[in-house]
Amino acid sequence: MSLPSIIFNVSGEKIASLYITDTSFQFSSASFKDTAAFEEAWQKTLTLNTKTEVKFDKITNITKEDNDNEICINYKNSLGLPVSCNFSFDNEADTIVFFDFLTTHLRLNKTEEKLSPFKAITSHLFWLAFIVGATAFAYYMALEMANGEVSEGGRAKVRAFKALIEFLGEKGILAVGGIAVIIMGYFIWKRVENPPILIKFQ
């Protein structure tokens, strides 16, 4: 079975369209009305569009949680390094078509697993630790700046970061960090209370 020659509208980081060829998934940051325009743009070497190609034979697995629209393709890039491509279809019906393609054309096996509470929050615990660490770093940096212990030099991004720290101050940093921790804690609690079902193709 092969998919009709159409362009799928998708959303993701620097991703707006998906075209499926005989050997790969081709993602572009630009939107196209038809396949001819997509193929013409894909062949261009000098372009502002971001292009990502996922070869079928390099795919490790494809996953999606039942209560989330985002699809994650885990694969190996040209250097053999594990990477991922995350996106979601703008039209929910396209997800069904895509999954059907995975099983009938790529011959991938579909499994569904109810995640344990711990499995459901593993990545979220990492982000919670990151938020706490970033808040602590910014807080102590704000204290050092207040005491004049931080130099004013550095690259543009560093200077912008220092300006933000100075603007927020110690209390502002703790407030922003505290809100972020509360929000992440809420998501963790919801996932522990009702762990999602992980749909996997491999």
58 in any annotated domain: yes
Instruction: Return the pLDDT at 160.
Output: 85
CA distance 36 to 38: 5
Query: In terms of domains, do 15 and 76 share one?
Result: yes
Domain end (from 84, 108, 132): 108
Q: For the sheet containing 8-12, what is the strand order?
A: 51-55, 24-28, 15-20, 8-12, 82-89, 71-76, 59-65, 197-201, 110-114
Given a cut of 50, whether residue 1 has pLDDT beyond it is: no
In this predicted structure, the answer to whether residue 90 has a pLDDT above a threshold of 50 is yes
Residue 81 domain flag = yes
- Same domain, residue pair 182 and 134: yes
Residues 103 and 130 in one domain: no
Average pLDDT over residues 105-118: 95
Residues 102 and 134 in one domain: no
Identify the domain containing residue 88 by its residue range. Answer: 10-108
pLDDT, mean over the chain: 91
> Looking at residue 195, what is its pLDDT?
95
Q: Is residue 77 part of a domain?
A: yes
Residues 68 and 158 in one domain: no
pLDDT at 52: 94
pLDDT band at 7 (very low <50, low <70, confident <90, very high): very high
pLDDT digits (tens, 9 = 90+) for 120-157: 999 999 999 999 999 999 999 888 888 877 666 667 88
**d(C-alpha 30, C-alpha 25), whole Å:** 15
| Residue 24 sits in the same domain as residue 102 | yes
Domain assignment present for 201: no
Instruction: Out of 1-5, 79-83, 152-156, pick the least confident.
Output: 1-5
Residues 80 and 152 in one domain: no
State what percent of residues in the chain have pLDDT above 70.
Answer: 95
Q: Residue 94 has which token pair?
A: 């396209």
Mean pLDDT, rounded, for 185-195: 95
pLDDT of 3 strictly over 80: no
Residues 101, 127: one domain? no
In terms of domains, do 15 and 102 share one?
yes
How many Cα atoms are found within 13 Å in the side-chain-facing hemisphere of 107? Answer: 1
Domain count for the chain, please give it: 2
Q: Would residue 75 count as lying in a domain? A: yes
Residue 104 and residue 122 in one domain:
no
Q: What is the mean pLDDT of the segment spanning 67-90?
A: 94
Work out the pLDDT band at 11, boundaries 50, 70, 90. very high
Within-domain flag for 3: no
Domain edge (last residue) among 66, 81, 108: 108
Say if 138 falls within a structural domain: yes
Residues 66 and 129 in one domain: no
Same domain flag for 102 and 126:
no
Identify the domain boundary among 108, 138, 164.
108
CATH of the domain at 91: 2.30.29
For residue 153, the model assigns a pLDDT of 62
